[in-house]
Amino acid sequence: MIRFTICKDVEDEDKIWEIIRDPYKIPNYWKGTRELNIREVSKNIYEGEVRFAFPAKGKVRIEVNDNSRRMTISYLSGPVKGKHEIEIKDKKICSSWNVELSLIFRFREKWTEEHFKSGTIHALERIVSEK
């Protein structure tokens, strides 16, 4: 199981929320997501397929909650299952992961967790530095 939270300070919460609330922009910031083929199935709820940077695909459901300023990405099938939440609160953007890897990837779970953490730090830096 991979579980961690990384936060970064932000100055303009409104600007940052406008960036992260758009699920179609996920591949621009989260480089572990090579491609996202989703469609809105109801207001602020998206479903579809994710193609990861490594050669694998999975099913996702993305929920955008404007009131709590939280996006929840649920990985439903594929090599990663669980949730990734991105939220803005108290002048911070936080990314929380709670996912499980499929059996084939578990033997390198510690390395993969460090890789996810590094990718998260870089994604948050890209988001915060967006003009």
**pLDDT tens, position by position, 21-46:** 999 999 999 999 999 999 999 999 99
Instruction: Give the pTM.
Output: 0.93
The candidate with the shortest Cα–Cα distance to 127, out of 98, 88, 90, 97, is 88
**pLDDT tens, position by position, 88-129:** 999 999 999 999 998 777 778 888 899 999 999 999 999 999
The candidate with the shortest Cα–Cα distance to 11, out of 68, 67, 93, 66, is 93
Cα separation, 23 vs 64, whole angstroms: 8
Separation in Å, CA 20 to CA 102, 112, 118, 128: 27, 24, 18, 10
Helix (H) or strand (E) holding 16: helix 13-20
Boundaries of every domain in the chain: 2-128
Separation in Å, CA 69 to CA 63, 87, 112: 11, 6, 28
Please give the pLDDT value at position 79.
92
Which CATH superfamily is 2-128 part of?
A: START domain (3.30.530.20)
